[in-house]
Chains A and B, each alone.
Chain A
Amino acid sequence: GDSVTQMEGPVTLSEEAFLTINCTYTATGYPSLFWYVQYPGEGLQLLLKATKADDKGSNKGFEATYRKETTSFHLEKGSVQVSDSAVYFCALSEIVRGNKLVFGAGTILRVKS
């Protein structure tokens, strides 16, 4: 079945550091790929998405590119802020499977000032 693997955390960075959170997936079809974020005490929010190969999703300075050849969707940000501290989830969905999301285990990001 479909699965998502993302790097384990926690990831601890200083403010203005470069962030990469790795995500790879296994899917039988052609999935859409997502990054969701969960800030402390808040609900899950969509951060960005990409629906086809070589698409780049971007939002709030975060970017991720759909790489079909490496089955990856790594999350990057050039300069993190303390307010980016949260749990980040990589996920995929396929239309033929009702678009139900398959999530990675989540990566905790802590940004220190």
Chain B
Amino acid sequence: GAGVSQSPSNKVTEKGKDVELRCDPISGHTALYWYRQRLGQGLEFLIYFQGNSAPDKSGLPSDRFSAERTGESVSTLTIQRTQQEDSAVYLCASSPEQVQNEQFFGPGTRLTVL
């Protein structure tokens, strides 16, 4: 079946511009996570959605970062007024309710801020 998909695969933007990154989770997966992987580093948790519950935003690095999810489907991560330190690969993962500790990752969006 289809896995997690993300778009765009690559995004180059100028400092100060806003960007939107999209994630399509596996159909039926109730949980959705965003992570960031900066060059040479491990992954950092950003935000987590579970069903209709309020999202866990504890990993967002600043108020320039926000995310939305429509029901149990698509999610959009928005970064406003991008900075060079925002350059990273942004990964989305989804998880089924039955095996809540198993996450399936998308291919990521590589963001480069010039």
Nearest-neighbor residue (CB-CB) of A4 within chain B: B42
Q: A43-B106, A44-B91 are in contact. Are A100 and B101 (CB under 8 A)?
A: no
Which residues of B line the A interface, CB within 8 A? 31, 33, 35, 41-45, 48, 50, 56, 59, 91, 93, 95, 100-108
Most buried by B among A32, A51, A99, A102: A99
The CA-CA distance from A13 to B43 in the complex, in Å, is 25
Cβ-based interface call for A12 (8 A) = no
Which residues of A line the B interface, CB within 8 A? 4, 32, 36, 42-46, 49, 51, 89, 91, 93, 95, 98-106
Contact at A99–B91, with CB atoms within 8 Å? no
Contact at A106–B42, with CB atoms within 8 Å? yes
Cβ contacts A to B, 21 pairs, < 8 Å? A4-B42, A42-B107, A43-B105, A43-B108, A44-B43, A44-B91, A46-B104, A51-B101, A89-B43, A93-B101, A95-B100, A98-B56, A99-B31, A99-B100, A99-B101, A100-B33, A100-B45, A101-B45, A103-B35, A103-B44, A106-B41
The CA-CA distance from A48 to B101 in the complex, in Å, is 12
| Count of CB-CB pairs between chains A and B under 8 Å | 55
The smallest C-beta distance from A50 to any residue of chain B, in angstroms, reads: 11
Chain A residues with Cβ under 8 A from B41's Cβ? 105-106
The CA-CA distance from A48 to B44 in the complex, in Å, is 20
The CA-CA distance from A75 to B47 in the complex, in Å, is 28
Which 9 interchain pairs have the tightest Cβ spacing? A103-B42, A44-B105, A105-B42, A43-B107, A103-B43, A32-B101, A100-B45, A98-B48, A99-B101
